[in-house]
Amino acid sequence: MTTVLIVYTTSLGNTRQLAKTIADGAHSVAGTDVQLKEAHEATKDDVRSCDALIVGSPMRHRTADSRIKKFIEDVCEQLWLTDEMVGKVGGVFTVGGGYGDCGAGCELAQLGLLGAMAAGGMILVTLPKTTPGFQVAGMHWGVHGRSGGTAMEPLGITDEMKLAAHHHGANIARVATELRGKDLLARGNVAPSQELIKQFSS
C-alpha cells in the first residue's frame, strides 16, 4: 500500500477544500492510502512512514502560513538532519487571492516549500501545463487555488481549480507507487554528527 500524507493549514476553509480534493485524486490511484492532517497534527513518524508528502498552505503576506513553516522547521528539518526524507515523493499547493492581477506571492511560497523538500532529498512532482484545470489553477510548481478576485472579492474554490487539484493528487500518488520500495538515490555522504542532531532536537 502506498501512503500519501497531505499536510495543510487553513483559516477560511479554502485550503481544506483543495486538500480534500487532492486527497480524492490520490485515493483514486489503486493501492493508495491517504492521510490528511493539519500542520499541528503531523508528526515525524507520520512523515517517516509516508511514501509521498504533499504540503499545502494559504498565502500570508506573500509567503506560506506560519503554521506550515513551523511544520517544516519542527518536523521536516529534523528528518533532514537524519536523511529520513531521501527518496520520498513531494508536491505542494497553495490558496489565496491578492490585490491586482497576481497570485499574492504564491509562486514564491511554493518554491520555498519545494526548496525544503529538495533539501530533504525528496523527488519532486510539479504540475505540467497538460494538467486539466491548469489554465485556472496552474503555477508550474503546483496547484494554486485563487480564492479571491482582482479586487480582493471572495471567490472560493471553483470546480476547475478542483479539477487541477484532483489530477495533482493522482499524479503524485502514481509516481509514489512506481517508486515505492526502490532506493534509487546515491548514499555515502556522512550525516551531521550526533551532537549536532541532539542540539537541533532539544
Output the domain CATH number for residue 191: 3.40.50.360
| DSSP states along 65-110 | -HHHHHHIIIIIHHHHHTT-STT-EEEEEEE---SSSS-TTHHHHH
The total number of structural domains in the chain stands at: 1
Residue 62's φ and ψ, nearest 5 degrees, are 70, 15
Please give the residue range of the domain that contains residue 177. 2-201
Residue range 136-147, pLDDT digits in tens: 998 899 999 988
Residue 138 is classified by DSSP as B
Give the pTM. Answer: 0.94
Which residues lie across from 144 on neighbouring strands? 94
Q: How confident is the model at residue 105 (pLDDT cuts 50, 70, 90)?
A: confident
Q: In whole angstroms, what is the distance from residue 43 CA to residue 41 CA?
A: 6
Secondary structure of residue 48 in the 3-state scheme: helix
Residue range 18-70, pLDDT digits in tens: 999 999 999 999 999 999 999 999 999 999 999 999 999 998 888 899 999 99
| DSSP states along 144-161 | EE--B-TT--B----HHH
At 124 the pLDDT is 98
